[in-house]
Each structure stands twice: as structure tokens, then as C-alpha cells.
Structure 1
Amino acid sequence: MTEHNSNDARTHADGTPLSERELRRRKGPRRDGKGSNAQANEAALADSDIIAQSDEATEKEGGVKLIANQRIIPFMSFAKPMMGISIALILAGIIAFVVNGLNLGLDFTGGVSADVRYESPVEQTQVVSALAEDGFTDAVVQYLGTRQELLVRLPPQDRDAETLAQSLSESLDLPNNPANVDNINIIGSQVGNEIYLNSLLALSVALGMMMLYIGLRFQFKLALGGVLALFHDVVVVVGMFAIFGWPFDLTVLAAVLALIGYSINDTIVVYDRIRENFRRVRGLSPVQVINLSQTETLRRTFMTVGTVFVVVVAMMFLGGDGLYWFSVALFIGLIAGTYSSVYIASVVPLWLGLSRDDFVVKIKPEFEEEVVVFADPELQNAKD
């Protein structure tokens, strides 16, 4: 009888034998209504609320524990030297900005812009050389879709609009390739100053709104760390342009604003994982929770940054002069933004005392239930 039952357990109802996969499943707990699935319930509980156990082997490797056989990278072990590098870069950028200033483009300083159309395709260097021969120095030439349509920008000129248009038309004519000059715009220095001030206002508003969003969405300590990380990224990019004297125009400003959006997106992903791990993982210190969160988001960060890097490098070498400095600003900002998401956005909240209590909802004392003991004299006498 026992042998018959054993054989039935290894076959289907129609007598066909069970596969190896089905046999492996049968070894698990069965739901027989008598509590035999307790092991499955415990496994589900362990998945939803991980409890980290101490491990002497991993404790010897810097106090980092293994969770589900996953090796945690000790990012926070290098927090102090990395923060030292960040402080040095910020100070260097601020000093260069104060001493050297920015090599502001015509969008900020004012000047002349004109749309030029040639009958045949031309090279930008030919146009710049032709303008320099007639005294129009420091010209900036960009393509407008095709190699026959160009945008020419010049520093402020002392000539009136009619004289300037005639002089430009004569200077831009190339051998066997005449130029047609249209839409000449003269930008005054006052307009350039307004654009400069509005740009600073836009940066300030962007940083303030980011801080407000993170503070409401996550926690104030994280909000402060996120804004300091964005401030670090902006100062590093602007500081590099001040140190090397690269031209800073509206395209570079657009790259800085785009960088703020990209960097805060990466920071939000890390913050979301930090909040999740503080709530579900027990037995780890705040430093270890940060390391765990950074390790879990590292693959996603590499994939995102790698994809954007390919696009930025392609624009840098194939986008022409119009996109070159825009791409350079993004290239520097991507490196600074990825670094700041790890060693500024996460380190600052940690130094401010970030802990599990910041994310676990506590019951207020006035809402706690009181334990009421009902004392009935008759029941008490009955017991006696």
C-alpha cells in the first residue's frame, strides 16, 4: 500500500510520470489547511522585511554585511577624501570666477547678429577670415541647417545699421560666391545685462524649487544634500569655464540648466532607494544602508550615464561649432553630477544624522491605545 501511494505521488492522474521540475516543486510546502505552508509564509515575510544578520567574515572587511549574498560596495569609506576634492574644486571655481570672470558671449555683452545666405556652400573659417580682413574681429559663425545659411555674430560696433549692413555685405562676399545679408539685429549692452541677471534668477529659482520638491517628497535632510549637490555641479561647470576662459553664452547656460534636471533625476533615484532600504532593512547602520542603496542603483546609473555620454561625445565632435561648448558643458556636468549623487547628495544627509527614524511613521502619544482592565467584583468573587 505504501509503495502504491509512493508511485502515485510521482505520476499524474492519467498515469504519466512527473517531470523533474514538477518533482522539485513537490518538495516544497503543501497547502493542506493545517499550517503546513508556514515556511512559505516566513519566506514571503523575509522578502518583504529583510533582517540583516551579522557576519564575522564581512565585519572584518570594513563592517559591511552581506544581504542575500550580495556584495555591498563601501562607497562611504571614501567620503572624506572625496568631499575634500569637491571643496577644492568649488573654491577654485569661485576664485576663478571672482578674479578672471567669465568670457561672456554676445548674448550677455551685446553685439550684432546677422543672417547670411550664400549661393554655394562655404566653410566657417572662410567667413571668419573674410570678416577679419575688413576689421570685423572676434566673429562667431554658426550654420543654420545647411552650409549655405549662416548666423554671424560680432562684438558691439560703432556704425549705424545702414552702414553696418553695407560693410558686412561687402566683407562677406567671397570669390564667385556672393552673400545675401538679412535680418541684422543690434543687441545693446543693457539687454545683455538683463539676460545675465535673468539667467542668475533662473538658476536660483531652479535650485529653490528642487529643494522644496525633495523636502516635501522625501525629507529635509535629503533636500539639503540634493541642493548642495546641484550647487556643486553648477559651480564646477561654471568654474571650469572661468579657469580656462572658454566662451560662456546662452547655449552653455542651457547646458547648465539641463544638467540641473539630469542630476536631480539621478539623485531622486538614489533617494528613493535609500528611503525604501531604511524602511525594509533592519540591523544595518545608516552608513551601511547608504552603501547598500548606492550599490543597488549603481548599474542603473552606469547605463544612464553611458547612454548620455555617447550622445554628448557625438555632439562634441560632430555637432559643429554651434554645439561644441554646449557639449563641453554637458560633458563636465555629467561627470560632476554622477559623482555628486554619490558623495554629496548622500554624504551630507548622513552627516546631518539621517536614520531610520526619519522614514518610519510613529504613532503620536495621543493616538496610542490605552490598555483597559475591566474589574468586575462578581467575576472576581467567582474566581475566588
Structure 2
Amino acid sequence: MAIENNNPLEQQKNPDQNGSNGDATNASTRRRKKPRRDGKGSNTKTNNPTTTKSGKSSGRRGGKGQAGTDNQALSTAVDPNLAASDAADDAAAMAEGGIKAVGNQRIIPFMKIEKPMALLSLFMVIGSIIAIAVNGLNLGLDFTGGVSADIRYEQPVEQVAVVQALADNGFDDAVVQYLGTREELLVRLPPQSDNVDGLNTDLTQALALPNNTATISNVNIIGSQVGNEIYLNSVMALVLALVSMLGYVALRFQFKLSLGAVLSLFHDAVVTIGVFALFGFPFDLTVLAAVLALIGYSLNDTIVVYDRIRENFRRVRGITPEQTIDLSLTETLRRTIMTISTVLLVVLAMLFLGGEGLYWFSVALFIGLLAGTYSSTYIASSIPLRMGLSRDDFIVKVKPEFEEEIVTFNDPKMFEQDNV
């Protein structure tokens, strides 16, 4: 009795030692109905103070034998309601098409529609290549050559007014951009005569607006040869970017994943350029810069998915590779939605408020963002899966020369002693 009186925990749990079990009844109603999140221990033992108290009292009053019998009986007790609820959760998860995995997380079965999405991607890539081959690209002045002039007005001017004034004087297809302020503009024109002096005079007359004179500070004539060099350098830049991405992902992750990443990046670039070829949108250096930016954005999104795939292959066991990829895509879905939403807000702001200079750049980004999000989910993940991606690709295997040998000694005398 002295031990029980000096134990504050027993006094707190059992303030009334004359048989009052009101607190024990209240404690038993607060027991957990679901498994612990960390999966450690038994709910019957850790979350029920009544069983713990009864085990202690039986150990003191009834002796060690009685305590051992009571503890054994309590450890084998199973709550039928808990087992029924777990079975119902498993059945509901399988009915929804997912599985019940780590932390009771429902997995979205992305790979169930993998084949239809693969056919859709193949159709879009083939259609884009046909559009590029048949229609061609509506190349801008950066690729075809032309005239570039820096103009300064005395008062702020609108781009539409400058374009209309040039068209009225025979300078069609002009591109006008602001250079920091509304008084300074950059005017681009198709190839004109090589006579710079006569071109300056004609442009000065064409750019004159009512009560607002224009001054031409610089005129550059870009030849067609320079435009062809820029075009070839642009194609080489795209190819070099894709090859560099292939090497990076192969060294950082695995070759199967790198091939899926590069094919998804190729899909994004071809689809974006194919849309410009199909509808005849102007393709200049700003659009090319948008395509290169899309390659970097799409690779960043793909790397996040690949990192989670590698982690889950090492961490989660007992599920198929397809379910592992579904789990990884489900865990990164929230991050993907938040990223694409914030980037699209900026792109839409540039599209509607950025003016003529950023319009086609924003259009290319908008098309590429949609294609990049789709390709990171399906193309970049489904291609490695079809190539046989498994857990063996991410675990470190011990070389045979470093494995420990198990040596057993069979002494005949030991068997003779056992027989005697």
C-alpha cells in the first residue's frame, strides 16, 4: 500500500480507491476508434486506461501468475467494430479504383487512362509535324530580314496610330514596340530598298503624326543571310537543350526516366510550334524564347514528379510499379495545380495587358504550359513504366565480392554425443 500511496500517477488515475470506477468508465469511452497514425502499438493497450489500471491492480493483489494471465488475455483482445471499419474502408477504396496505401491515402488511378492519352499525344505530335511541313512557319523579321528603326516622338503615342500611319504610306506589316516609355518605339518592317538615306526620308514622312513629330535615331537593315543564320542557330539551341536535359536526368536519376523526360519536352515544343504553324501566327525570336522557357518549366515539373517516384520506389513496398507511379502523381498533384495556377495568372496578365510586344510571347507560353502540365503527368511517367521501371532501378545492390559468406561446421562428434 505504501507504493501505491506514493505514486502520483496512480493517485491521479484512481482518486477513489474504494471501488469507484467512474473515471475508468469515462476513459473507456474516449478510446480511439481508428488505428494510430504511426502504426505503433496496440489501441487496446495504449489508448484504454481501464485495461492498464486493471493490469496493475491484478499484478499487486493477485500475484504474478494472475497478472500474466490477465495481460495475455488483454493483448489478444480485438475490437470487432475496428476490424469491420477497416474492411469497409478497403472495400470502398477498391470500389473507387484506388488502393489503400500509406497513411490511408486514396490514390488517383492516373495510369488507367494511359493508353488513350498516349494515342492523343501521338495524334497531336503527328498533326503538328504535318502542319509545320505543309503550312510552314510565319517567320518574323528576325528570321527573314528587314528593317529595324528606333523612333522617338515629342509626345506619347499609341502603337495602333503608328501602325496605321505606316500602312497609309505603303509600309505594310509593320511591328511597333515600346522601348521603356510611350515616346520611344522600335519599328520593324519587311525588307525594303538598300538606300538608307531615301528610307530615312520616307519613314520620317510616314511616321509624322498631327502635332507630334518623329525623329529617327537609328536604322538597321537586316539581310536575309543573317536571318537564315539566326534560324539555324535557333534550331541548334533547341536540339542542344534537349540533349543537355537527357544527360542531366540520366545522371541524376535513371536512363529510363531521362528518355521519358526528353520525349515529353519534345512533345511540348513540337505541339507549341505546330499550333503557330496551323493558325499562321507570327514566329519570331520572342516566341522562340517562350519555347525555350517552356522546356525549362516542363523539366522542373517533371523533376519534382521523378524525385517522388524514386522516393516511393525505395520507401513503399508491396505495391506494383503502376501503383507506385499513381501514388507519386497523387502526392504531387496539389503542388502541380498550385504552380500552374500562379504561372497562368502571370501569363494571362501579360497576354491582355502586356501590349503588342508581349502578345505572341504570352500566347506561346499559354499553349506550352497546358501541354507541359499534361506531358509531365502522362508522357514523362508512362514511358518509363512501359520500359520496365521497377524498384530494382533505384536500390543499391551489393556486389558479389562484398557479400558475406555463411560458413557452417559439421562436427561428427557432436552428432555422436547427441545420440548417446
Q: What TM-score does the superposition give when structure 1 sets the normalisation length?
A: 0.86
Contact map agreement 2:131 2:274 (CA 8 A) in 1: yes
Shift of 1:65: 3.1
Shift of 1:64: 2.8
CA-to-partner distance for each residue in 1:197-251, whole Å, 9 max, x for gaps? Answer: 0000000000000000000111110000000000000011000000000000000
> SS state of the match for residue 193, structure 2?
coil
Shift of 1:373: 3.0
Q: Aligned partners of 2:325, 2:160: CA distance in 1, in Å?
A: 52
Shift of 1:319: 0.5
Aligned-partner residue type, residue 218 of structure 1: F
Which residue does 2:284 correspond to in 1?
249
- Residue number among 256, 261, 277 corresponding to 1:226 in the alignment: 261
**Residues 71-82 of structure 1: matches in 2 within 5 Å?**
71-82=106-117
**Residues 61-140 of structure 1: matches in 2 within 5 Å?**
61-62=96-97, 64-140=99-175
Aligned-partner residue type, residue 170 of structure 2: G
Q: Aligned partners of 1:64, 1:382: CA distance in 2, in Å?
A: 56
Shift of 1:281: 0.3
Q: Aligned partners of 1:374, 1:283: CA distance in 2, in Å?
A: 37
Q: Aligned partners of 2:313, 2:264: CA distance in 1, in Å?
A: 21
Shift of 1:116: 0.3
- Residue number among 327, 332, 351 corresponding to 2:362 in the alignment: 327
Counting matched residue pairs gives 351
Contact map agreement 2:264 2:380 (CA 8 A) in 1: yes
> SS state of the match for residue 153, structure 1?
strand
Q: Are 2:2 and 1:4 equivalent residues in the alignment?
A: no
Q: Aligned partners of 2:8, 2:335: CA distance in 1, in Å?
A: 50
Aligned-partner residue type, residue 4 of structure 1: N
Q: Aligned partners of 1:27, 1:355: CA distance in 2, in Å?
A: 38
Q: Are 2:199 and 1:164 equivalent residues in the alignment?
A: yes
Q: Aligned partners of 1:10, 1:145: CA distance in 2, in Å?
A: 79
Q: Are 2:331 and 1:291 equivalent residues in the alignment?
A: no
- Residue number among 197, 202, 216 corresponding to 1:181 in the alignment: 216
Q: Are 2:265 and 1:264 equivalent residues in the alignment?
A: no
Which residue does 1:46 correspond to in 2?
none
Which residue does 2:345 correspond to in 1?
310
Which residue does 1:42 correspond to in 2?
none
Q: Aligned partners of 1:66, 1:375: CA distance in 2, in Å?
A: 46
CA-to-partner distance for each residue in 1:62-97, whole Å, 9 max, x for gaps? Answer: 363333121111111111111111111111110000
Please say which structure displays the higher CA radius of gyration: 2
Which residue does 1:39 correspond to in 2?
none
CA-to-partner distance for each residue in 1:133-185, whole Å, 9 max, x for gaps? Answer: 21111100111111111100000002411111111111111111000001111
Shift of 1:375: 6.1
Q: How well do the aligned residues superpose, as a CA RMSD in angstroms?
A: 2.5
Contact map agreement 2:145 2:226 (CA 8 A) in 1: yes
Contact map agreement 2:98 2:107 (CA 8 A) in 1: no
Q: Aligned partners of 1:370, 1:7: CA distance in 2, in Å?
A: 55
Shift of 1:10: 6.0
Shift of 1:338: 0.5
Q: Aligned partners of 1:129, 1:161: CA distance in 2, in Å?
A: 22
Aligned-partner residue type, residue 121 of structure 1: P
Q: Aligned partners of 2:317, 2:172: CA distance in 1, in Å?
A: 67
Shift of 1:4: 2.5
Identity %: 67
- Residue number among 288, 301, 307 corresponding to 2:336 in the alignment: 301
The structure in which a higher percent of residues are helix is 2
Which residue does 1:206 correspond to in 2?
241
Shift of 1:27: 5.3
Q: Aligned partners of 1:316, 1:84: CA distance in 2, in Å?
A: 31
List runs of 5+ in structure 1 lacking aligned partners.
12-19, 29-53
> SS state of the match for residue 205, structure 2?
helix
